[in-house]
A and B are shown apart, each in its own frame.
Chain A
Amino acid sequence: MDGTIFLFLLQDGVINGAVYALVAIALVLVFGVTRVILVPQGEFVAFTALTVAALENGNAPPTAWLLLALGGLAAISELVRHFRDLTVRRLVRIALFDLALPVALLLLTRALAPMKLGQVANILLAITLITPMGPMIYRIAFAPIAHSSVLVLLMASFGVHFSLMGLGLVFFGPEGTGTAPLSSQSFALGDLVVTGQSVAVVAVTGLLLVLFAIFFGRTLLGKALRACSSNRIGARLVGIPTGAAGQIAFALAALLGAVSGVLVGPLMTVAYDSGFLIGLKAFVAAILGGLVSYPLTVLAALGVGFAEALFSFWASNFKEVLVFTLIIPVLAWRSVYAPHAEEAE
């Protein structure tokens, strides 16, 4: 391997790693606040890319219908769960957030889509459609079992992933597509051709990471979320509503997933089931970061991206095998040095 190839692989690794970093940060956030290992995080990524692709073609994305379906389910599950203690406030909230919002977005997308408003509008619309799915999914699947063990939550998480992937097939169909690059410019840096797309990916990821650092370090809401993740019972005792915190964490996760989807769309062909692998690789990074540390997670994500680039150069057939085998020694190491992962049922 000569220097040029190395640099090329490095660039490839950094781009992939940046996307994994965003997804992995979402996983760490959600795990910290709710103890859910969010397997369906990848679906947010894939569905966003498919939504942008549909909008680029001037089609109304089926995402709006999916959002309406999830809203309906969330409303039903909320009504069943709070059958005995329904308040007017809760009813209004269900009507507004689970029913009115999806319907409004559905009408909006159907009106806007044929107008082909351009890339920025497409991206914003896609993110707006995906983000509310997070809290809806939390209320449908996880809120009723929020106090169960990590294991039960993990199984439920797989269940949600299955259902969402199947719904993705129903709504988006089996074909994969790509989206237009965020920037078609490129420039030479020595031997290396740096594409505008890769600059955009790194810049957006960097910006979001900084915003997140500010959010968690400086704002009351961010600190409340951190309190939930370090000590749930303590957080409840000082008056932080952990259920609401879970919804916020899921909303942020969906938002991060949506942004990752925007970034990933131009890089690869995305189909309804592409999210799973992206999510899992990010997950490898999240584990490397111990599901706790954000900076470590970002570093690990870059590492996973680079390892993947190297593996695909040396042994492209066994790329996935190698990436996932990588996690086993890390898990073993963490089991020995961080045995507090064990938790009483």
Chain B
Amino acid sequence: MKLPRSSLIQAACAVAILILPFTGLIPDYWITLFNYIGISSLVAIGLVLLTGVGGMTSFGQAAFVGFGAYTTAVLTVQYGLSPWLTLPLAVVVTMIAAALIGAVTVRLSGHYLPLGTIAWGIAFFYLFGNISWLGAHDGMSGIPPLRLGSHALIHPRDYFVVVWIAVVLAVVATQNLLGGRVGRAIRALRRSTRAAEAFGVNTAGAKLMVFVYAAMLAGLAGWLYAHFQRSVSPGPFGITAGTEYLLMAVLGGAGRVYGAILGAAGITFLRDQLQDLLPWLLGHTGNYEIIAFGAVLVLILQTSPNGLWPILFGPPSAPKLPQPRAGQHLPERELPAPGTPLLQAEQAQKSFGGLVAVNAVSFEVECGRIIGLIGPNGAGKSTTFNLITGVLPLTSGRIEFEGHPLQAQTPQRAAALGLARTFQHVEIVADMSVIENVALGANLRGHAGVLRSIFRLDRAEEALLFASAMRQLDRVGLAEVAFEPAGTLALGQLRLVEVARALCLNPVLLLLDEPAAGLRVGEKKALARLLREVRAEGVSVLLVEHDMDFVMSLADRLVVLDFGTKIAEGAPALIRQDPVVLEAYLGGVS
């Protein structure tokens, strides 16, 4: 098997780092410093995933380092367990704590989430400092060192290997995770939660997963810290330390795994230098370095909020796609025969307080048809869409899809039933490549979970998912830009990316919300051709559109809404002459 060059370079760097301390070129003092950098890097990598990728800012990560450190301290000092045995225990205890704390925390919205992390960050600091069997404010000392046979890993050089093996493993695991199916869902959390949900991502579950993963790395860091320092006290697990970890992630570049190491190195070096320099300058000792840390944080946010890594090393490179074996592709859904009733809305009603947005609307969508949903602005078209796709619950009436009632269902379940949608305001993950955005549409057609991603056992499935994504991109005519970051595309192209993503779900019913808005004439023609092709394959389309030429030429039937009420339904030619419709669109032509 031929490894890609970047993997070889990374592996070579990893080996070089691990050999470095044994060359005798580096003084012990610096090796100790590198050990602390490695330990902080683990926490910062977790924060990159949590904050930079998942969009959840945590000031309390140091508390999880504390969980790991105190667990191993108690078990080794008071119960005499071997440190190697406490490693899984420390990590598991931290993960359980994180699952409990996270269950509440990830449900906090907006800026309440970071505020929540501050609150429990402080609470745990005082808890550690007041529990007598944790040694209260004095902490615990006499923690045994790690041993390999009879050799104690006390020398910084020996410990260096342990720490950096952990860092290398964490980097590999995190990158594998982010590159896989679950990773795409996580990357969609921050900017396009709605899109992630529309393609079956359980967003609350994904957030909790990220939270626990980040805490796991922090717990591992805590275990390493305890056996290197050989003592623990509450100080390094408080809110100040938590903010420093966040500073490391922000400094390095909050979306990038290697940025975490860069940030950890930067802050650790800065602290080391300032702790010598500042007391000498000011004449007495104290933790004056926080002045500089605060200033660095403010300056980074003011000048380069994406951190140092992108400035030094540019944007992330496009993903390497695994190639599927010849002849293999994802299984396709069996579509019902054309003409079978698919979606039935009966007296569907939605009120927001006193406003009736959708008023007793009934219509039907059959298999293999294109139905146009039209009406002036504010007619209730998008609300109808949201009712069908489970974004909003019905006030009364019913909507059925292939016999399943759609009342009070979630967007995730709608996706599972084969409803795929696009959005009126595009919901695209701008910093992810186009092909990965499209592959998000196939989320429910893959099954690889966290562990399979981390251990790279998802390659065969990923190959199929990406092949399907590539095929759909080709159909909308965007194969050439597949590896560009989605954020660089024009609005019209993004709409087509959304269509491709929806097709990637292998839908029974395609719901398109103004897909032609922002498209050029040629692109509109191509889209119309594509939709006819899709119809010929037996997929139904429900189309909200303002471009009348576009919708009239395509639709088999039109449903016209005005002020939330259905005012007409029929073939485009009839609708064109319907006096009630003309009245609604043009006002009183009397």
What residues make up the interface of A, taking CB atoms closer than 8 Å to B? 37, 140-141, 144-145, 148, 150-152, 154-156, 158-167, 169-170, 174, 280, 283-284, 287, 317-318, 320-321, 324-325, 327-328, 331-332, 334-336, 339, 341-343, 345
5 A-B pairs (CB sep. < 8 Å)? A169-B286, A280-B118, A320-B123, A327-B115, A335-B108
Q: Are A327 and B111 in contact (CB under 8 A)?
A: no
Neighbour of A166 across the interface among B108, B126, B243, B289, CB < 8 A: B289
From known contacts A174-B286, A324-B120, infer whether A341 and B243 are also in contact, taking CB-CB under 8 Å. no
Neighbour of A155 across the interface among B57, B126, B286, CB < 8 A: B57
Cα A280 to Cα B243 in complex, Å, equals 15
**Segment among B148-156, B298-306, B447-455 that sits at the interface with chain A:** B298-306
User: B417 in the interface, Cβ–Cβ < 8 Å?
Assistant: no
Q: Are B305 and A328 in contact (CB under 8 A)?
A: no
Task: For the A-B complex with A163-B293, A165-B290 known, give 6 more contacts whose Cβ atoms are closer than 8 Å.
Answer: A141-B298, A151-B111, A152-B301, A156-B302, A166-B289, A167-B291
Cα A317 to Cα B290 in complex, Å, equals 28
Q: Are B111 and A145 in contact (CB under 8 A)?
A: no
Q: Closest 8 interchain pairs by CB? A: A163-B294, A162-B294, A159-B297, A166-B291, A341-B110, A159-B298, A320-B126, A324-B123
Q: Are B293 and A159 in contact (CB under 8 A)?
A: yes
User: B127 in the interface, Cβ–Cβ < 8 Å?
Assistant: yes
Q: Are B130 and A321 in contact (CB under 8 A)?
A: yes
Q: Are A150 and B110 in contact (CB under 8 A)?
A: yes
- Tell me which residues across on chain A come within 8 A of B11, comparing CB atoms: none
- Tell me which residues across on chain B come within 8 A of A140, comparing CB atoms: 298
Question: Which residues of B in the span 139-198 have a Cβ within 8 Å of any Cβ on A?
Answer: 191
Q: Is the interface of B mostly helix, strand, loop or mixed?
A: helix
Q: Are B288 and A328 in contact (CB under 8 A)?
A: no
- With both beta carbons as reference points, the residue of chain B lying nearest to A342 in the complex is identified as B110
From known contacts A324-B123, A325-B123, infer whether A335 and B109 are also in contact, taking CB-CB under 8 Å. yes
Cα A152 to Cα B240 in complex, Å, equals 17
- Tell me which residues across on chain B come within 8 A of A334, comparing CB atoms: 112
From known contacts A287-B115, A342-B110, infer whether A152 and B305 are also in contact, taking CB-CB under 8 Å. yes
From known contacts A148-B305, A320-B126, A324-B122, infer whether A332 and B108 are also in contact, taking CB-CB under 8 Å. yes
Q: Are A327 and B119 in contact (CB under 8 A)?
A: yes
Q: Are B123 and A342 in contact (CB under 8 A)?
A: no
What residues make up the interface of B, taking CB atoms closer than 8 Å to A? 57, 59, 104, 107-112, 114-116, 118-120, 122-123, 126-127, 130, 191, 240, 243, 246-247, 250, 282, 286-298, 301-302, 305
Closest Cβ of chain B to A318, distance in Å, is 6
From known contacts A280-B122, A328-B104, A342-B109, infer whether A37 and B115 are also in contact, taking CB-CB under 8 Å. yes
Q: Are A145 and B127 in contact (CB under 8 A)?
A: no
Q: Are A154 and B114 in contact (CB under 8 A)?
A: yes
- With both beta carbons as reference points, the residue of chain B lying nearest to A336 in the complex is identified as B107
- With both beta carbons as reference points, the residue of chain B lying nearest to A329 in the complex is identified as B104
Cα A151 to Cα B122 in complex, Å, equals 19
Cα A300 to Cα B51 in complex, Å, equals 31
Closest Cβ of chain A to B319, distance in Å, is 24
- Tell me which residues across on chain A come within 8 A of B295, comparing CB atoms: 159, 163
Q: Are A317 and B302 in contact (CB under 8 A)?
A: no
- Tell me which residues across on chain A come within 8 A of B282, comparing CB atoms: 170
Cα A71 to Cα B112 in complex, Å, equals 33
Cα A343 to Cα B243 in complex, Å, equals 23
Q: Are B119 and A328 in contact (CB under 8 A)?
A: yes
From known contacts A154-B114, A327-B115, infer whether A163 and B109 are also in contact, taking CB-CB under 8 Å. no
- With both beta carbons as reference points, the residue of chain A lying nearest to B305 in the complex is identified as A152
Cα A62 to Cα B228 in complex, Å, equals 41
Closest Cβ of chain A to B392, distance in Å, is 14
- Tell me which residues across on chain B come within 8 A of A328, comparing CB atoms: 104, 116, 119-120
From known contacts A162-B290, A174-B286, infer whether A325 and B297 are also in contact, taking CB-CB under 8 Å. no
- Tell me which residues across on chain A come within 8 A of B240, comparing CB atoms: 162
- Tell me which residues across on chain B come within 8 A of A155, comparing CB atoms: 57, 246, 250, 297, 301
- Tell me which residues across on chain B come within 8 A of A151, comparing CB atoms: 57, 111, 114
Closest Cβ of chain A to B231, distance in Å, is 22
- Tell me which residues across on chain A come within 8 A of B123, comparing CB atoms: 320-321, 324-325
Q: Are B119 and A320 in contact (CB under 8 A)?
A: no
Q: Are A335 and B107 in contact (CB under 8 A)?
A: yes
From known contacts A324-B120, A328-B119, infer whether A160 and B294 are also in contact, taking CB-CB under 8 Å. yes
Q: Are A156 and B289 in contact (CB under 8 A)?
A: no
Cα A161 to Cα B118 in complex, Å, equals 14
From known contacts A148-B305, A169-B288, infer whether A156 and B115 are also in contact, taking CB-CB under 8 Å. no
- Tell me which residues across on chain B come within 8 A of A287, comparing CB atoms: 112, 115
Q: Are A156 and B119 in contact (CB under 8 A)?
A: no
Closest Cβ of chain A to B251, distance in Å, is 11
- Tell me which residues across on chain B come within 8 A of A162, comparing CB atoms: 240, 243, 290-291, 293-294, 297
Neighbour of A318 across the interface among B115, B120, B127, B293, CB < 8 A: B127
- With both beta carbons as reference points, the residue of chain B lying nearest to A166 in the complex is identified as B291
Cα A163 to Cα B286 in complex, Å, equals 13
Closest Cβ of chain A to B431, distance in Å, is 12
Q: Are B126 and A318 in contact (CB under 8 A)?
A: yes
Closest Cβ of chain A to B101, distance in Å, is 9
Q: Are A148 and B301 in contact (CB under 8 A)?
A: yes
Neighbour of A324 across the interface among B59, B119, B289, B301, CB < 8 A: B119
Cα A119 to Cα B287 in complex, Å, equals 33
Q: Which of A169, A280, A331 has the most CB of B within 10 A?
A: A331
Cα A192 to Cα B112 in complex, Å, equals 40
Q: Are B109 and A341 in contact (CB under 8 A)?
A: yes
Cα A161 to Cα B290 in complex, Å, equals 9
- With both beta carbons as reference points, the residue of chain B lying nearest to A287 in the complex is identified as B115
Cα A150 to Cα B111 in complex, Å, equals 7
Cα A207 to Cα B114 in complex, Å, equals 34
Cα A37 to Cα B114 in complex, Å, equals 11
Cα A332 to Cα B290 in complex, Å, equals 32
Neighbour of B294 across the interface among A161, A317, A336, CB < 8 A: A161
Q: Are A341 and B291 in contact (CB under 8 A)?
A: no
Q: Which of A155, A164, A318 has the most CB of B within 10 A?
A: A155
- With both beta carbons as reference points, the residue of chain B lying nearest to A73 in the complex is identified as B295
Q: Are A341 and B57 in contact (CB under 8 A)?
A: no
- With both beta carbons as reference points, the residue of chain B lying nearest to A320 in the complex is identified as B126
Cα A250 to Cα B192 in complex, Å, equals 34
Q: Which of B240, B282, B294 has the most CB of A within 10 A?
A: B294
Closest Cβ of chain B to A146, distance in Å, is 11
- Tell me which residues across on chain B come within 8 A of A321, comparing CB atoms: 123, 126-127, 130
- Tell me which residues across on chain B come within 8 A of A161, comparing CB atoms: 294
- Tell me which residues across on chain A come within 8 A of B107, comparing CB atoms: 332, 335-336
- With both beta carbons as reference points, the residue of chain B lying nearest to A157 in the complex is identified as B298
- Tell me which residues across on chain A come within 8 A of B301, comparing CB atoms: 145, 148, 152, 155-156, 159
- With both beta carbons as reference points, the residue of chain B lying nearest to A327 in the complex is identified as B119
Closest Cβ of chain B to A207, distance in Å, is 30
Cα A335 to Cα B115 in complex, Å, equals 12
Q: Which of B109, B118, B282, B286 has the most CB of A within 10 A?
A: B109
Q: Are B111 and A341 in contact (CB under 8 A)?
A: yes
Closest Cβ of chain A to B316, distance in Å, is 19
- Tell me which residues across on chain B come within 8 A of A327, comparing CB atoms: 115-116, 119
- Tell me which residues across on chain B come within 8 A of A341, comparing CB atoms: 109-112
Cα A325 to Cα B121 in complex, Å, equals 10
Closest Cβ of chain B to A115, distance in Å, is 29
- With both beta carbons as reference points, the residue of chain B lying nearest to A35 in the complex is identified as B111
Closest Cβ of chain B to A163, distance in Å, is 3
Cα A258 to Cα B501 in complex, Å, equals 57
From known contacts A162-B291, A320-B126, A345-B191, infer whether A339 and B120 are also in contact, taking CB-CB under 8 Å. no
Q: Are A339 and B109 in contact (CB under 8 A)?
A: yes
- Tell me which residues across on chain B come within 8 A of A343, comparing CB atoms: 110-111
Neighbour of B108 across the interface among A37, A141, A159, A331, CB < 8 A: A331
Cα A82 to Cα B257 in complex, Å, equals 36
Closest Cβ of chain B to A162, distance in Å, is 3
Q: Are B111 and A164 in contact (CB under 8 A)?
A: no
Cα A342 to Cα B114 in complex, Å, equals 12
Cα A224 to Cα B114 in complex, Å, equals 30
Cα A27 to Cα B115 in complex, Å, equals 14
